[in-house]
Amino acid sequence: MRYDFGSDNTAGMAPAALDALVSANSGFARAYGSDDVTARAADEIRRRLDADAEVRFVFSGTAANAIALSMLAFPHESVLAHHAAHVCTDETGAPGFFGQGLGLTGLPGFSGKIDARALAAVLDEPEVGHRQPPAALSLTQSTEYGTVYTVDELRHLIEPVKARGFGVHLDGARLANAAAAGFDLTQIARLGVDVLVFGGAKAGGLCTEALVMFDKSLARRVDNRLKQAGQTASKTRFLAAPLLGLLESGAWEGGAAHANQMAQALATGIATQTPFVLAHPVEANAVFVRMPIKAHEALTAAGWACYRFDDGSVRFVCSWATTQDAVDELLEAMSKLR
């Protein structure tokens, strides 16, 4: 089975990340995140974002998202998110677990982007004692359908939420791909995002995401919270080092730019060489294709791992390691399907 396009999680570590991990393994260092490697990685993140923030490194995006949302809503409240967001569909109730019962309210919107009118309608609903009222907004950049919010699109969603005193979380598991597509990272804090998950794993790192708290009040006793949640690494430098290597070398953006370029090549080939059509705009590193079930089964039987997504389309994801040869081979296989 070929896993080239199954997910950007199927790729290995990028060379810059692996080299940094090996380098961090030399000698001794302070434990529990008080080492120089972790400090440098946090500084690199702050520099990319052009913002002061508290930064912690955790083992997974699910933990980072769930803990972040638990900071923004009480157990009797809910978080608004796109109905296809990772927090709603792929985290097995982790936000409610870490948030001791906080709810998730799914919102509609084309291609993974929350519809501003749907958000306004929910915000205008009267609060009643029988439902969990909204307390925060969760956004995903780039989205689960491979699209990229513009700064203005985010502003139109964030401003009415902040006007009500609610918190804002940004899931940046594929933030590198959004940045490579032209999104200005320095706008995140300025837009009013309170807590960001800065993606490392999908960008070519290890199993590492950074929890970035622009609202420093959220960092009160955060180390206790992370320890209780099993997210405190005794050798934190090994979580931080791969991300540090990606950031210091520029491979965080460079690998994402390559992934985006491969996705564009794949999308162009699908449109011109196969009988299938694209289901969503291709703006980052994911390509979604309308494909009959029998064609999808035949492609899988031919040895290509690809995932049928929530809307029924078939998803192909490119990574830092995707090659043009692999794109061409996949297109050749798809061209023979009907």
Contacts of 93 (CB under 8 A, 6+ apart): none
Q: What are phi and psi of 168, to 5 degrees?
A: -135, 130
4 found inside a domain:
no
> According to the model, what pLDDT value does residue 44 have?
98
77 found inside a domain:
yes
**156 plus 245 within the same structural domain:** yes
Task: Output the DSSP codes for 35-53.
Answer: SHHHHHHHHHHHHHHTS--
* DSSP structure class, residue 112: G
Residue at which a domain ends, from 249, 270, 296 = 249
Residue at which a domain ends, from 202, 217, 249 = 249
**43 plus 150 within the same structural domain:** yes
**51 plus 191 within the same structural domain:** yes
Residue 269 CA to residue 256 CA, distance in Å, equals: 20
> According to the model, what pLDDT value does residue 88 have?
97
**202 plus 306 within the same structural domain:** no
314 found inside a domain:
yes
> Domain total for the chain?
2
- Pick from 249, 196, 265, 180: nearest CA to 49: 196
**297 plus 234 within the same structural domain:** no
Walk across the sheet containing 134-140 and list its strands: 54-58, 209-213, 195-199, 167-172, 134-140, 78-82, 103-107
Let me know: does 148 contact 141? Beta carbons within 8 Å. yes
Coil, strand or helix: which one is 95? Answer: helix
Q: What are phi and psi of 254, to 5 degrees?
A: -65, -45
Whole-structure pTM value: 0.97
327 found inside a domain:
yes
**289 plus 244 within the same structural domain:** no
Range of the domain at 217: 15-249
Residue 275 CA to residue 61 CA, distance in Å, equals: 36
3 found inside a domain:
no
Query: What does the pLDDT profile of the chain (338 residues) look like in tens digits?
Result: 999 999 999 999 999 999 999 999 999 999 999 999 999 999 999 999 999 999 999 999 999 999 999 999 999 999 999 999 999 999 999 999 999 999 999 999 999 999 999 999 999 999 999 999 999 999 999 999 999 999 999 999 999 999 999 999 999 999 999 999 999 999 999 999 999 999 999 999 999 899 999 999 999 999 999 999 999 999 999 999 999 999 999 999 999 999 999 999 999 999 999 999 999 999 999 999 999 999 999 999 999 999 999 999 999 999 999 999 999 999 999 999 98
Let me know: does 172 contact 141? Beta carbons within 8 Å. yes
- Pick from 270, 289, 261, 244: nearest CA to 42: 244
Task: Name 216's bridge partners.
Answer: none
Q: Within 10 A of 336 (CB to CB), how many other CB atoms are there? A: 12
> According to the model, what pLDDT value does residue 83 have?
98
> According to the model, what pLDDT value does residue 338 have?
84
* DSSP structure class, residue 125: S
Residue with tokens 């923030």: 53
Q: Which two tokens stand for residue 254?
A: 């460079």
90 found inside a domain:
yes
Half-sphere exposure of 306 (CA within 13 A, CB side): 28
- Pick from 211, 200, 170, 177: nearest CA to 86: 170
Residue 66 CA to residue 269 CA, distance in Å, equals: 38
Residue 21 CA to residue 51 CA, distance in Å, equals: 26
**74 plus 183 within the same structural domain:** yes
